[in-house]
Every structure is written in structure tokens, then in C-alpha cells.
């Protein structure tokens, strides 16, 4: 698989561990910090795969902008000791059935993994080719994606607005 592929797998494994830690933290700020760690590990994996544009976008937009929105919302709530204790109690008791369900979903995937024919080193794809794809054959899809972003923007503004007189 080559050195870069091995590094990508190692970085992705680190990201997986960080994400697993993120979903088990009772404190939402700690969970967000682990999510950022996982996203940056995945971005390192993207760089090692030769997908430099995806890695940069992962750091700038995912870990930068989207998590920053989370931080803003977390700052508006008061997560006191009561909420922390409640999350701890819930984390301790309700995990067995979901674990069984997730493993049941994963079992057929693990059995159907291809055993061969997928070897080879990752091939670097420069951002120029990505741009030629996005602004050429995929231009309509990019327009639809931008329309979805505007719809989400309007929806979020409508949902989160303060009603006058209350």
C-alpha cells in the first residue's frame, strides 16, 4: 500500500478513536474537542491520500466553521453539574442494546468485504482537476448544492429568530 497509504490508514484509525471518545463524553465541550481532533486526523489522512483540497476544506470548513457554530450554541446554554450528572447516568445504563444493534448491522458488511483486487497505492488528484469537474460536468449539481445551502440558511434564520413582544 505504500508509505502514504499506510500513513492515511494510521491517521484514519486515530480519527476513529477520537470519534469514539467524542460520543462517550458527558461534557459537550469535551465531546466537541474530540470531534475536532478526529476531523483533523481525518484531514491528515486526506493529505496523505493525495486529496489535498479535501484535507484543506476539512480543516477550514468542517473543523473551523461547523464546529465554531457548535461552540456558539454551546456558549448560549448553561450545562451545569446537574446536566453533567444526568448524562453520566444515562451513558452508564443504556448502551448494551444499541451496541448489539450496531454489531448486527455491521456483521454483513464485515462478511462482504472484498478480499483482493483493491490493492495499489493512492493516486494524488490535484485541485485543478477537481475544479474542472465541479465547474464543468457537475455544474448543475453544484448549483443544486448552493440552493440547498441557501434553503438551510433561510430555514435556520426563520427557526432561530426571536419573536417580538415575548
Do residues 15 and 39 lie in contact, with contact meaning Cβ atoms separated by under 8 Å? yes
Among the listed residues 30, 64, 88, 129, the single contact to other proteins using CB under 8 A: 129
For the record, the C-alpha cell of 83 comes out as 446536566
Do residues 130 and 53 lie in contact, with contact meaning Cβ atoms separated by under 8 Å? yes
Do residues 38 and 19 lie in contact, with contact meaning Cβ atoms separated by under 8 Å? yes
Q: Does 159 bind other proteins (CB under 8 A)?
A: yes
Among the listed residues 64, 85, 88, 155, the single contact to other proteins using CB under 8 A: 155
Q: Does 102 bind other proteins (CB under 8 A)?
A: yes
Q: Does 71 bind other proteins (CB under 8 A)?
A: no
Among the listed residues 53, 64, 75, 85, the single contact to other proteins using CB under 8 A: 53
As a whole number of angstroms, the distance between CA 149 and CA 155 comes to: 10
Do residues 45 and 1 lie in contact, with contact meaning Cβ atoms separated by under 8 Å? no
In the complex, minimum distance from the CB of residue 58 to other proteins, in angstroms, rounded to a whole number: 8
Q: Does 40 bind other proteins (CB under 8 A)?
A: no
Amino acid at each position: 500500500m505504500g508509505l502514504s497509504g499506510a500513513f492515511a490508514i494510521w491517521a484514519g484509525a486515530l480519527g476513529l478513536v477520537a470519534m469514539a471518545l467524542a460520543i462517550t463524553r458527558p461534557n459537550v465541550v469535551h465531546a466537541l474537542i474530540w470531534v475536532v481532533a478526529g476531523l483533523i486526523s481525518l484531514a491528515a489522512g486526506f493529505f496523505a491520500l493525495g486529496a489535498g483540497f479535501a484535507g484543506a476544506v476539512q480543516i477550514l470548513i468542517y473543523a473551523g466553521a461547523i464546529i465554531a457554530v457548535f461552540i456558539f450554541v454551546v456558549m448560549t446554554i448553561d450545562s451545569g453539574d446537574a446536566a453533567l450528572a444526568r448524562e453520566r447516568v444515562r451513558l452508564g445504563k443504556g448502551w448494551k442494546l444499541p451496541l448489539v444493534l450496531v454489531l448486527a448491522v455491521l456483521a454483513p458488511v464485515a462478511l462482504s468485504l472484498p478480499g483482493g483486487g483493491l490493492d495499489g497505492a493512492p493516486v494524488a488528484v490535484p485541485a485543478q482537476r477537481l475544479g474542472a469537474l465541479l465547474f464543468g460536468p457537475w455544474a448543475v449539481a453544484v448549483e443544486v448544492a448552493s440552493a440547498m445551502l441557501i434553503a438551510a440558511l433561510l430555514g435556520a434564520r426563520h427557526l432561530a429568530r426571536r419573536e417580538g413582544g415575548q
